[in-house]
Amino acid sequence: MVGHGRERTKFNSLGSLTLGASGEVAGGAAHEFGVDRKIFTGGKLFISDQGSLSGFIDTYLADSDSREKYAILDGQMTPEKDIIIFEGKFPTDRRGIVILVAKKRTFVQADLAGTWVALHDRAYSLSINKEGTITECMLATEGGTKKGMCEGEFSLDLSGTASAKLLFSEARKAAINLSGQLNSGNNFMALAGSDSTHFEGTTLIFMRRDGTFSIADMEGSWRVAMTGRSGTFFGTLKTDKEGNVLDGIWCRIGVVANDSGAISGGKLSLTEKGGIFGSFKILSGDTYEILGGQMGPKKDIVDALYLDGSRTQGVMLFERIP
């Protein structure tokens, strides 16, 4: 369980959530870096036949000895049923996204081998060998790729818990220590941790780069979630086989106020390796420009970095709606 938000005050959290067969919360805990430890005491998650999510999580805040809730406003389970992404209002007055990755099988270290696109201060393409060492690092940009400056080691236990110590020296010289979960399809990781320059922690999302793609792979309906300085943005959009954004709806839970509206157009593109670029706009005139990212091998989830109208960077996640 990884939580992430990028408002005026950023937050990142790492933990686990145990659910019963009917969606009831049976336990779990999370550490919000620099703020509080959360213990999950109850609640329930509801899921529709198309995988959309709602519900709440009762939470005890250990450091402040108080009780609050995660209020889930929107969310989606992937068709493979091993990843859930939801958005909402969270304890300690946070708004953002939470990523749940199911523990469904056993793993070996070599499951990490391959090429991954990591979202950090930029989008990086990493080659990881079967021992978990980064052997190549490139910046994933619209014009192709150029050499980046990152290094590090990953480890993976039998349950799929991934740990890493990484150094992105183009951005800063501080090593990042991370932990999180690899999904059952071996193609997605959400990791969170801390470094000496961020008391509130940091979140990195990894998507495996594997297979061949065309823009027609973006055709269909998608649920989109975004974190940014002005709040957390979520909604749905529809694209055609040329990548044109046809329509959609959005909501934003913000620092000052909440708002909503229509997605009015845009154009997305995919490279042959699944790299995503392009933009879409909302009816009020704001445009969201995708700087780089990756479509997953199953073509049902996409992660990306974006810039909003104020040139603030954030994380964007797409999940296919069946």
Residues 6+ apart with CB under 8 A from 289: 278, 279, 306, 307
Summary mean pLDDT of the chain: 89
Percent of the chain with pLDDT over 70: 92
Q: Is 196 helix (H, G, I), strand (E, B) or coil?
A: coil
Instruction: Identify the pLDDT of residue 231.
Output: 79
Instruction: Identify the pLDDT of residue 93.
Output: 79
Residue 142: is its pLDDT beyond 90?
no
CA-wise closest residue to 119 among 319, 316, 300, 318: 316
Overall fold of domain 215-320: Lipocalin (2.40.128)
Instruction: Identify the pLDDT of residue 314.
Output: 86
Which of 36 and 105 is assigned the larger pLDDT?
105
> Would you place residue 149 in the very low, low, confident or very high pLDDT band (cuts 50, 70, 90)?
confident
Instruction: Identify the pLDDT of residue 146.
Output: 57
Q: Which CATH class is domain 109-208?
A: mainly beta
Instruction: Identify the pLDDT of residue 304.
Output: 94
pLDDT (average), residues 166-174 = 69
DSSP of 93-126, one letter per residue? TEEEEEEEE---S---GGGG-EEEEEESSSEEEE
Residue 140: is its pLDDT beyond 70?
yes
Residue 185: is its pLDDT beyond 60?
yes
Instruction: Identify the pLDDT of residue 103.
Output: 92
In DSSP terms, which residues pair with 95 in a beta bridge?
89
Tens digits of per-residue pLDDT, 282-314? 988 889 999 999 999 999 999 999 987 677 788
Global pTM reads 0.93
Instruction: Identify the pLDDT of residue 307.
Output: 85
Residue 183: is its pLDDT beyond 90?
yes
Side chain identity, residue 226: M
> Would you place residue 91 in the very low, low, confident or very high pLDDT band (cuts 50, 70, 90)?
confident
Residues 6+ apart with CB under 8 A from 161: 179, 180, 181, 182
Instruction: Identify the pLDDT of residue 36.
Output: 75
φ, ψ at 93 (rounded to 5°): 60, 40
CA-wise closest residue to 170 among 146, 190, 189: 146
Cα 23 to Cα 104: distance, rounded to the nearest angstrom: 16
CB distance 306 to 289 below 8 Å: yes
